[in-house]
Amino acid sequence: MNLSVQLAPKNKHGLSLANPVMTASGTFGYGTEYSHLFDIQKLGAIVCKGTTLKPREGNPQPRLAETPCGVLNSIG
């Protein structure tokens, strides 16, 4: 089954992914903590945190909220 997707079909360089499955931004790191749970090579992409040219302050604390299903973060 072909699950490939084109994320930038109008861009001359394009952006092809083998599948649309991606990590959520921020907490995946290099994936070593998750590699024993599943084959991370099967991911379509790893989403990193955003970057800026100029420094900016993060979000005010609290930045983490524990939920019954995990943790929400808003580092900024």
Residue 55: cis peptide before it, omega within 30 degrees of 0: no
- What is the length of the chain? 76
Nearest-angstrom CA–CA distance, 48 and 75 = 13
Nearest-angstrom CA–CA distance, 32 and 55 = 29
E strand map for 20-62: none
pLDDT-derived band at 58 (thresholds 50, 70, 90) equals confident
Instruction: For residue range 20-54, list pLDDT tens digits in order.
Output: 999 987 778 888 889 999 999 999 999 988 889 99
Q: Which residues contact 27 (CB under 8 A, 6 or more apart)?
A: 71, 73
Quote the tokens at residue 71.
């943790």
